[in-house]
Amino acid sequence: GEMTLDAAPFTEILWRQEGGVLTLALNRPQKRNAINSLMLAELIFALEQCADDESVRVVVIRGTEKGFCPGDDLSGMGEVPAEYAATLQHPVTHAALQACLMALAKPTIAAIHGFAFGVGLDLAMACDFRIAHEQAQLRDQRVIERGMHAVTGCAWFQPRAMGVTRALEFLILGKALSGQDAAEAGMVTMAVSDSAFEQAVADMANRLANAPTKAIGLMKRQIYTGLNLKHSDFMDFAAPLISEVSIEDRQEGIAAFLEKRPPNFSGR
C-alpha cells in the first residue's frame, strides 16, 4: 500500500507533530547527524507527505544530541531502499531536498545548535527561518584548506543572504561564524542564548502554526521566484496570484480588524 508519514519506517530521522507544528529531527547521533542517502530520502518523503496535509502549518528541522548537521557522511552515503525509490516524487539529492523546502507552501524553520557545516548548513539555508544558538558554529566549504569547492547550493544561498563581499570571504577563506556572527551577517534570522534556544524555537513555530498559512505560502513563492526575475517579469508573475486571495484567512483578517479582536486563522 501507500506509505504515509505516520506509517513510514524512518530510521535516520525522528518526526513528531504537535498541533500544526511538524518537527523533523536528524537522528544519526553516532555520526553527529551526518547525512546519508537514506536520511535524504526520509526528509524528502516527509516533506512530500506534509505538502498536502492541511494539519501541518509549519515544519521545524533540527538535529538530535550534539549539533545540527556536520554535512554528508564521508564514510559512505549508502543505498536508498526500494520502498522510498518507488514512492518519492523527487530524486534523492541535495538539490531535490532544497527544492522541496523552498517550494513547500508553508513556513519552515531550521533550529541550529552545536554546529552546521557544509551541506548541513545548506539544508538550513533552504529553510525560511533560521534560529541559531549564539554559540553554534556555522561553516561551509574551506576551499583554501581542503581544495574543495561545493556544488551543493552554498554559492547560491550565501551571496543572497549575506551579500557578495561576505559570501566570498565565508566560502573561500572558510571562516567559521558563531550563531551571533551569522545573525549580524544576515545569514540567520536570530541568534539566542543556550537557555533561551528551545523557547525561541517553540515561540516561532507556534506563532507560524497559528498564522495564515496559505498567504505565507504565496508570499514565500513570490520571494523565491523573484530572486531570479527582473522587475517587469516578476510583476507579470505576481499579478495572477491576487486571484488566490479568496482564501478564508484573508476574510478573517479583515473581520478581526473591523471587530477590533485578534484574528483566528485556520491556515486555509
pLDDT at 182: 98
Joined grid coordinates for residue 129: 527561518
What is residue 79's predicted lDDT score, i.e. its pLDDT? 86
Chain segment 27-37, per-residue pLDDT in tens: 999 999 999 99
pLDDT of 144 above 60: yes
Residues 216-238, mean pLDDT to the nearest whole number: 95
Question: What is the band of 248 on the pLDDT scale with cuts at 50, 70, 90?
Answer: confident
The structure's pTM equals 0.95
Residue 1 has pLDDT above 60, yes or no: no
What is d(CA 121, CA 69) in angstroms, rounded to the nearest whole number?
7
A 10 A CB-CB count for 62 gives 22
Instruction: Give the confidence band of 268 by pLDDT, cuts at 50, 70, 90.
Output: confident
- H/E stretch holding 162 reads helix 154-162
Please tell me the predicted confidence (pLDDT) of residue 151: 82
> Would the pLDDT of 25 be above 90?
yes
Residue 66 confidence (pLDDT) above 90: yes
129 beta partners: 109
Distance CA 215, CA 29 (A): 37
Q: What is the pLDDT, as a whole number, of residue 74?
A: 82
Interatomic CA distance for residues 6 and 17, integer angstroms: 10
